[in-house]
Amino acid sequence: MDRFDIGAVRVHRVEEWRGNFAPPEGLLAGCTPEAFAPYAAEFSPGYYDLAEHKLFAFLQSWVLEAGGLRILFDTGAGNHKQRPGIPVFGNLDTDFLGNLQRAGFAPDDIDVVVCSHLHIDHVGWNTTLRDGLWQPAFPHARYLLPAIDEDFWNPANAARFPQQVGRAVNACVYEDSVAPVIAAGRAELVRPGHVVADGIVLDGAPGHTPGHVLMHVESLGEHALFVGDVLHHPVQVYHPEWNSIFCEDPAQARATRRAVLERAAALDALLVPAHFGGQHMCRVRATHDGFAPVFTT
Ligand SMILES: [Zn+2]
């Protein structure tokens, strides 16, 4: 769905990139080709390319119109950025801002930017290159950045975090996509529990990164959970024990994923992750021994 409502909150999907990212066992720790095989038919073709045996993935952002605010959740990989640790997302030249415009928004219209965490593919459009400098792409926006992730990824603190799983993949990201926003005075470093707007709260969802937050939207009795990278693929609804290979704290990431699925099922919430293909979101049903995704149109 490219546009939907959660009560009185209207949501627009803005796409940046799509492609075959990796085989299931290449992205999901603990998954094997044999373990994925029972799900191949269910997830082909929207979420899985059977012929290439690769997970089909998206980079996408969400714009929420809520209480007079326009809130942009996650900002993809960005254009023209040097990404030595993950070349597929380096030197991109996508029409993300055109897609944003077609959804109805110019950069000047965005009031609040929220980054679920400070990984390469969630902060890229925080900045654009102007006059040879990386500058805030949304000049009027307050950027809400998880304080715990800012501490974790700030290169000045590298000696305190010698074991970062994502250090190579996230190289250059803080410098070109986080630091310029802070230097421009546009950033607000936020903690779990931060209220973005009436009915919109950032809750801690640690594990993938230590500061990862999800955004809970509640309006007129309806709920949605914008969960970033708590899940990368819907097969993880069936197998919450399968982390992405990029998760910093595997045990914490599994615990968070299970808790989020539990919460989504209890609230009958829309679960809106960052990278799902197909319908880009689902609801979650509790089963006798776990969870199952429910895809609605
Ligand atoms: Zn991601």
Span from the CA of 289 to the centroid of ligand 1 (angstroms)? 28
Span from the CA of 123 to the centroid of ligand 1 (angstroms)? 10
Span from the CA of 85 to the centroid of ligand 1 (angstroms)? 14
Span from the CA of 253 to the centroid of ligand 1 (angstroms)? 14
* Residues around ligand 1, an ion, CB closer than 5 A: 121, 229
Q: Round the CA-based radius of gyration of the chain to a whole number and report it.
A: 18
Peptide bond into 146 cis (omega under 30): no
pLDDT lower than 70: segments of the chain: 297
Distance, in Å, from the CA atom of 272 to the CA atom of 99, rounded to the nearest integer, reads 19
Span from the CA of 108 to the centroid of ligand 1 (angstroms)? 25
Span from the CA of 230 to the centroid of ligand 1 (angstroms)? 9
Span from the CA of 16 to the centroid of ligand 1 (angstroms)? 12
Span from the CA of 283 to the centroid of ligand 1 (angstroms)? 20
The pLDDT of residue 297 is 56
Span from the CA of 78 to the centroid of ligand 1 (angstroms)? 13
From the options 3.60.15.10, 2.40.110.10, 1.10.10.60, 3.30.870.10, give the CATH code of 3-294: 3.60.15.10
Span from the CA of 274 to the centroid of ligand 1 (angstroms)? 6
Span from the CA of 122 to the centroid of ligand 1 (angstroms)? 6
Bridge partners, 286 (sequence order): 291
Span from the CA of 257 to the centroid of ligand 1 (angstroms)? 15
Span from the CA of 49 to the centroid of ligand 1 (angstroms)? 19
Span from the CA of 77 to the centroid of ligand 1 (angstroms)? 9
Distance, in Å, from the CA atom of 251 to the CA atom of 241, rounded to the nearest integer, reads 9
pTM of this prediction? 0.97
Span from the CA of 288 to the centroid of ligand 1 (angstroms)? 30
The pLDDT of residue 244 is 97
Span from the CA of 229 to the centroid of ligand 1 (angstroms)? 5
Backbone angles phi, psi at 47, to 5 degrees: -120, -5
What's the angle, vertex CA 269, arms to CA 11 and CA 254, rounded to 5? Answer: 110
Span from the CA of 128 to the centroid of ligand 1 (angstroms)? 19
